[in-house]
């Protein structure tokens, strides 16, 4: 793209005409282009400065004759062939200076077949704004060259959000290869800080550091979901440790939506309030100004191993809960995600190993393993623990009957709830903020997401545990044959 030249005052007088010099000075014309070519270039610049699409046309001016000629160029019959071109097309147009009352004006005319028209009309015919390819560099150069300022603060909030969404969706106009390469970089790179949030912004992560208002609007778009992210902030976890690291990492960064969102370390009351909301956001809803990125999660995808999934949903059948490691993060962590409204649970599909994780009991029978029984232990407990969640999707069931059985169990658990989230929200509003905050109270006992181990009423003997584990297959269709097709029952 040609460099944008500053406006040149061809005539220092206020009149719209100039006086022709009978003997032009060659020293003034030789170092620079002729005044006529400069006038055409400035006409192109004025045409491009009409709007951003016009600016993105990148029209280049190439005279067919010597632009440094020192001859008389202001004669009434003077004409010059000019080649206008950009990355797409090239047009040769005969141009002349418009005369009025035998005096040359500053207006350039172009010959279009049968008549003369202004240069602006001719450029609009050959280089319409609809053919412009607007890129990030074009927008940046547009605001850097036109000398204008953008009144961001004067825009309505809805318009600001639309502008930010346009930035976040990255409409470069590039091909599929570019976006596939960008997706590869995102999936194989590690962004600094809360990568689960930063990676969603891609090259526009700097929006989080522009101002408090831009940061708030950008995070709200990411958290609640829009036409870019329809479900909001999603956490994909394929191991238990990956989910734990994501939760702990996101809980260390405040959203900073309001003033005083970061507690002062010297203010013990503020520190206690921040820790109270971190642990019990559903109870202390009036302390949401201390919300972290963790509290903005809307959807979680889980696909753990058999062992981790059984421990995560606190399965106690056969006394399995006795083998849960100390400090193991369970599904109780969902109580700390006040905006979580969708959970996708993928049942384990790992290979059926005969070996067990010490000191856990063996999960698979040596000759007749039964993953269907283990799946039932998981989703029966999950249907009960996730009764509060609006949407729970179960994947990789053994067959469609298992999937329908889970839906029935989850619907029954929902109907058995005393209060739904909507009813609790209404009750909280009716009570003018719910539970009053006691600045002196600090119910925090630790920073880890530890679940209280469930002690069964009647402790099972080791012989009873060994009797249940490993479960032996007694299904009508052998699980060893059906397990490789788990989740494919719709296609059979």
- Reported as a single tens digit per residue, the pLDDT across 186-196 is 555 565 678 88
Residue with the two structure tokens 């959807």: 299
Q: What is the mean pLDDT of residues 171-178?
A: 47
Q: What's the pLDDT tens digit per position in 222-244? A: 888 776 666 788 899 999 999 99
In the prediction, which pLDDT does 356 show? 54
Confidence class for position 299, pLDDT limits 50, 70, 90: very high
Q: What's the pLDDT tens digit per position in 354-401? A: 555 567 788 888 888 888 889 999 999 999 999 998 899 998 888 888
Whether pLDDT at 24 is above 50: no
Nearest to 53 by CA among 138, 112, 117: 138
- Lowest-confidence region among 30-34, 192-196, 302-306, 478-482: 30-34
Nearest to 449 by CA among 229, 249, 267: 249
Residue with the two structure tokens 């100004």: 289
Q: What span, in angstroms and rounded, lies between the C-alpha atoms of 454 and 462?
A: 17
Radius of gyration for the chain, computed over Cα atoms and rounded to the nearest angstrom = 35
Which residues are registered as beta bridge partners of 111? 116
Q: What is the mean pLDDT of residues 458-487?
A: 68
Q: What span, in angstroms and rounded, lies between the C-alpha atoms of 421 and 56?
A: 51
Q: Are 226 and 254 in contact (CB under 8 A)?
A: no
Question: Checking DSSP bridges between strand 79-85 and strand 60-63, what pairing results, if any?
Answer: antiparallel
Whether pLDDT at 480 is above 50: yes
DSSP labels, 121-155: HHHHHHS-GGG----HHHHHHHHHHS------TTS
Helix or strand holding residue 414 (H, E): helix 400-415
- Lowest-confidence region among 81-90, 197-206, 287-296: 197-206
Give the CA-trace dihedral at 460, 466, 467, 472, to 10 degrees: 140
- Lowest-confidence region among 246-250, 395-399, 404-408: 395-399
Which residues are registered as beta bridge partners of 95? 80, 110
Q: Report the Cα 475 to chain-centroid distance in Å.
A: 45
- The dihedrals phi and psi of 236, each to the nearest 5 degrees, come to -100, 120
Q: Which residues contact 249 (CB under 8 A, 6 or more apart)?
A: 194, 195, 196
Whether pLDDT at 295 is above 50: yes
Q: What is the mean pLDDT of residues 170-198?
A: 59
Sign of CA dihedral 310, 313, 317, 319: positive
Give the CA-trace dihedral at 111, 115, 121, 126, to 10 degrees: -60
Q: What is the mean pLDDT of residues 36-54?
A: 88
Q: Spell out the domain ranges in the chain.
A: 26-133, 309-485
- Lowest-confidence region among 112-116, 304-308, 450-454: 450-454
Q: Are 441 and 435 in contact (CB under 8 A)?
A: no
Q: What's the pLDDT tens digit per position in 88-116? A: 888 898 888 888 877 778 888 898 888 89
Q: Which DSSP letter does residue 16 get?
A: S
Whether pLDDT at 330 is above 90: yes
Q: What span, in angstroms and rounded, lies between the C-alpha atoms of 274 and 254?
A: 10
Q: Are 314 and 384 in contact (CB under 8 A)?
A: no
In the prediction, which pLDDT does 175 show? 47
Q: Greatest CA span in the chain, whole angstroms?
A: 117
């Amino acid at each position: 793209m040609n460099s944008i030249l500053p406006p040149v005052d061809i005539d220092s007088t206020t009149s719209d005409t100039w006086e022709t010099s009978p003997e032009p000075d060659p020293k003034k014309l030789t170092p620079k282009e002729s005044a006529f070519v400069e006038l055409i270039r400035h006409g192109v610049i004025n045409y491009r400065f009409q709007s951003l699409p016009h600016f993105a046309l990148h029209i280049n001016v190439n005279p067919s004759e010597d632009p440094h000629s020192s001859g008389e160029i202001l004669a009434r019959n003077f004409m010059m062939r000019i080649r206008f071109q950009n990355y797409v097309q090239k047009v040769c147009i005969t141009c002349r200076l418009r005369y009025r009352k035998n005096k040359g004006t500053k207006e350039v005319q172009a010959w279009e077949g049968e008549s003369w028209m202004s240069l602006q009309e001719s450029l609009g015919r050959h280089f319409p704004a609809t053919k412009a390819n607007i890129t990030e560099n074009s927008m940046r150069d547009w605001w850097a060259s036109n000398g204008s300022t953008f009144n961001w603060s004067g825009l309505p909030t809805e318009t600001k959000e639309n502008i930010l969404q346009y930035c976040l969706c990255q409409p470069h106009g590039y091909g599929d290869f570019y976006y596939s390469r960008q997706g590869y970089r995102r999936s194989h790179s590690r962004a600094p800080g809360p990568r689960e949030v930063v990676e969603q912004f891609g090259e526009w992560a700097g929006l989080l550091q522009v101002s408090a208002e831009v940061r708030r609007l950008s995070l709200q778009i990411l958290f609640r979901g829009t036409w870019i992210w329809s479900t909001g902030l999603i956490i994909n976890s394929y191991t238990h440790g990956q989910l734990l690291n994501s939760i702990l990492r996101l809980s260390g960064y405040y959203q900073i939506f309001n003033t005083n969102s970061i507690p002062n370390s010297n203010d013990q009351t503020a520190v206690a309030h921040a820790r109270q909301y971190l642990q019990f956001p559903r109870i202390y809803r009036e302390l949401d100004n201390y919300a972290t990125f963790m509290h903005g999660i809307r959807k979680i995808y889980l696909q753990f191993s058999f062992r981790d999934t059984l421990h995560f949903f606190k399965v106690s059948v056969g006394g399995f809960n006795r083998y849960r490691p100390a400090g193991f993060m369970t599904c109780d962590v969902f109580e700390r995600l006040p905006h979580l409204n969708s959970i996708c649970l993928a049942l384990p599909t790992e290979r059926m190993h005969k070996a067990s994780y010490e000191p856990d009991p063996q999960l698979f029978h040596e000759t007749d393993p039964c993953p269907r029984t283990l799946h039932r232990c998981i989703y029966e407990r999950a249907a009960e623990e996730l009764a509060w969640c609006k949407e729970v999707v179960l994947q990789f069931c053994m067959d469609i009957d298992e999937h329908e059985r889970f839906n029935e169990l989850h619907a029954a658990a929902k109907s058995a709830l005393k209060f739904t989230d909507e009813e609790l929200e209404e009750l909280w509003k009716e009570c003018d903020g719910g539970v009053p905050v006691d600045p002196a109270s600090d119910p925090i006992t630790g920073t880890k997401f530890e679940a209280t181990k469930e002690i069964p009423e009647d402790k099972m003997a080791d012989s009873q545990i060994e009797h249940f584990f490993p479960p032996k297959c007694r299904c009508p269709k052998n699980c060893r044959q059906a397990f490789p097709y788990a989740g494919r029952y719709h296609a059979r």
